[in-house]
Structure 1
Amino acid sequence: MKKILIISDTHMPKKGKMFPDPLLKVLKKDIDYIFHAGDWTAQSVYEELKTYAPLFGVKGNIDKEDWSHTLPEKVLVTIEDVKIAMIHGHQGKGRSTPERAYRGCEGDSADLIIFGHSHIPFHERKGSTILFNPGSPTDKRRQKQFSYGIAVIDQSKITLDHHYFS
């Protein structure tokens, strides 16, 4: 069994100087992996997250600093026979962020597509693929609460949950 923290759109330090307490509590627990779906803004966010668990991340549309050029546009990872694709969600064609994320990973045969960009939590199945946006733990924009996601993969079964806080 593997437990994964899923975050996106941290926009730090502009939208927060440090990770909020609810997120820090999760980071200090039994997390096997961290997935960040882009818009980190600062390399310090990347450096801090990788001290907690193995980190997978993609470049977001506002990641412009030199360090961010080392980040891929898309990540493909298999964990316990579950194929995960991650993309920020601003690339490509489509009327909505979920549609752009799906189209951006359509040929990857992913069981789970993680994306960000909109700051809007999203969890929906499209055929045999699950689309998941964790929202943002630091920049809720027009959402009522901040959010992040937790995925548990156990023997090829995925359980996904949003966690909300004020």
Structure 2
Amino acid sequence: MRILVMGDTHMPKKGETLPHILTEQMKRTDHIIHTGDWQEKWLYDEVCSYAPVTSVYGNADGDEMKAFLKRTETFSLGGVKIGIVHGDGEKKTTEKRALDTFDETYDCIVFGHSHIPYLRYHGKKLLFNPGSPTDKRKLPYFSFGFLTVIKNSLQAEHCFFNLEGHSF
């Protein structure tokens, strides 16, 4: 099972359409995770047209998004237990807040907020931040990610790209 992971899209503030490289990949995925900060429901509806979506709301999402999304989500795919949280808050780093949100029974914690791609194990738990496909801030590239679940195991990777759609 191939899961496309994205977040911090901040649309339409950071763009009126999703990058072509991202939409092409969404056509070939089994599931989509979004880490929050959609900002507009039309974007959620568009992303849902590609594949089933599991998402949370972020600190930049208003009441419209909070009406149907939760602050945290959990689910299992292919024997892998995944927790999702945006990661905003006070004190601690974004990574530490995400890690502290879920107990040790989770195999993977997916989070956003910082817009900084992150892929690191903390003990046996994988922490994964896809970065942002529309708001790279001071980073050289935009990004999103993939989680691949095969026989109860998990692989994670980032896709980095520039405005011209060239991936690295």
| TM-score normalised by structure 1 residue count | 0.94
Distance 1:59 1:117 in 2: 10
Structure 1 residues 129 and 64: CA distance shift in structure 2, 3 A: same
Distance 2:91 2:107 in 1: 21
* CA deviation after TM superposition for structure 1 residue 129, in Å: 0.3
Match of 1:134 among 107, 130, 134: 130
User: Percent identity, aligned pairs only?
Assistant: 40
Match of 1:53 among 51, 54, 60: 51
Q: Deviations over 1:135-166 (max 9, x none)?
A: 00000001110000011100011110000000
SS at match of 1:70: coil
Distance 2:19 2:44 in 1: 15
**Paired residue for 2:101?**
104
Gaps of at least 5 residues in structure 2 are: 163-168
SS at match of 1:89: coil
* CA deviation after TM superposition for structure 1 residue 104, in Å: 1.3
In the TM superposition, 1:2-41 aligns within 5 A as 2-29=1-28, 31-41=29-39
CA contact 2:76–2:82 (8 Å) conserved in 1: yes
* CA deviation after TM superposition for structure 1 residue 45, in Å: 1.1
CA contact 1:6–1:149 (8 Å) conserved in 2: yes
**Paired residue for 2:159?**
163
* CA deviation after TM superposition for structure 1 residue 27, in Å: 1.1
Q: Deviations over 1:65-89 (max 9, x none)?
A: 4243221110110001100000000
| TM-score normalised by structure 2 residue count | 0.93
Aligned Cα root-mean-square deviation (Å): 1.1
Instruction: Tell me the amino acid that sits aligned with residue 146 of structure 2.
Output: I
Structure 1 runs (4+) greater than 6 angstroms displaced: none
